[in-house]
Amino acid sequence: MTPPRLVAIVGATATGKTALAIALARACNGEIINADSRQVFRGMDIGTAKPTPEEQAAARHWLIDVAEPTETFTLAAFLDLATHAIADIRNRGKLPIVAGGTGQYVWALLEGWSVPRVAPDRELRAELEALAASKGSDALFAILRAEDPESCARIDARNVRRVIRAIEVTRATGRPFSAWQRKDAPVHDARIIGLRIDRAELYRRIDARVDAMVAAGLVEEVQRLNAAGYGCDVPAMSGIGYRQICEQLRASCTLDEAVTRIKTETHRLARMQATWFRAADPRIVWLDASAPDLLERAVAVARA
């Protein structure tokens, strides 16, 4: 039996995934499942480039505003919620459209990853975070290398949260984190659309979007979150945009310096996303994000 159809829209930040997802949903009777790890948090709207209320009204969105910034939103939580959303959408005769730039979320869903349901160990996390703060991320990475060397080939040593999670899962389950990366048979007939654009133009778009975020009130959004009890030490606030504005509010840098850092870090994020969504991946149909007939091409891929 052929698995039910699903469409995914992937690619670097600022390539226009949200706009295309909405247009495709309207053209193909679809609903959108968010695959951005930051847009799940309530109150974090401007800095995450979350779809606006008008955009969310244009097509139904799932997995937006489903967690508080103080919560730890895991890959397992994403998979559980996304699987429920897909079933609901299909039961009503509509097309599920997964859209977002968090590669881990997208591939875990499409490739059927086996993901451990391990609750956060606050005490262990505090201990490991303190080690990273005092001795650097390399000291933390050395622990992972000793306990699960295979994971070291897959995880960036600078990604402290990811390294801590790998150690946490390894110790909680008695199995190396890498052993959980088993993939089950795909349960979706996925059509994967990748949006690409010239790097210079991509960086121009990123920079313009960051400027627009600041003009729309990014600083005020961070201040509101702080006032609501979500301080700059909350993990969700470590994301690009929020971290730099926190530094500016602590007078560690000027606003201009913070904006420059946001742009630089977002450029780096776009390059990292290219490692998740590779140009040579035969599963991805790459489309020019600036093409005037982008929607028509996307509809053709979705219906192929």
- CATH 1.10.287.890 domain position(s) in the chain: 199-272
DSSP 45-106: -TTTTPPPHHHHHHS-EESSS-B-TTS---HHHHHHHHHHHHHHHHHTT-EEEEE-S-HHHH
The string of pLDDT tens digits covering residues 69-111 is 999 898 999 999 999 999 999 999 999 999 999 999 999 999 9
285, 301 Cβ separation under 8 angstroms: yes
- CATH 1.10.20.140 domain position(s) in the chain: 122-181
Span 115-139, average pLDDT: 91
DSSP 171-206: HHHSS-GGGGG-BPPP-SEEEEEEEE--HHHHHHHH
The residue with tokens 């899962």 is 169
* Cα(13)–Cα(43) distance, integer angstroms: 20
In eight-state DSSP terms, residue 5 is: E
The residue with tokens 């097509």 is 59
Res 1 pLDDT > 50: no
Span 181-201, average pLDDT: 87
In the CATH scheme, what is the homologous superfamily, with its name and number, of domain 5-115+185-198+277-303? P-loop containing nucleotide triphosphate hydrolases (3.40.50.300)
Residues in CB range of 214: below 8 A, 6 or more apart: 255, 259
- State the pLDDT confidence band at 8, using cuts at 50, 70 and 90: very high
* Cα(69)–Cα(60) distance, integer angstroms: 23
Give the global pTM. 0.85
- CATH 3.40.50.300 domain position(s) in the chain: 5-115+185-198+277-303
* Cα(276)–Cα(288) distance, integer angstroms: 18
Note the CATH number of domain 199-272. Answer: 1.10.287.890
* Cα(78)–Cα(36) distance, integer angstroms: 10
Give the pLDDT score at 3: 59
Give the pLDDT score at 154: 82
* Cα(97)–Cα(33) distance, integer angstroms: 6
The residue with tokens 């850092």 is 261
Res 51 pLDDT > 80: yes
Note the CATH number of domain 122-181. Answer: 1.10.20.140
**Edge-first strand listing for the sheet containing 30-34:** 61-62, 30-34, 95-99, 5-11, 189-196, 284-288
Counting beta carbons within 10 angstroms of the beta carbon of residue 61, is it exposed (0 to 12), middle (13 to 18) or buried (19 or more)?
buried
148, 169 Cβ separation under 8 angstroms: no
Give the pLDDT score at 115: 83
Tokens of 61: 């969105």
Give the pLDDT score at 114: 83
Of the candidates 294, 263, 217, which has an alpha carbon nearest to the alpha carbon of residue 19? 294
143, 104 Cβ separation under 8 angstroms: no
Give the pLDDT score at 166: 93
The string of pLDDT tens digits covering residues 256-304 is 999 999 999 999 999 999 999 999 999 999 999 999 999 999 999 999 8
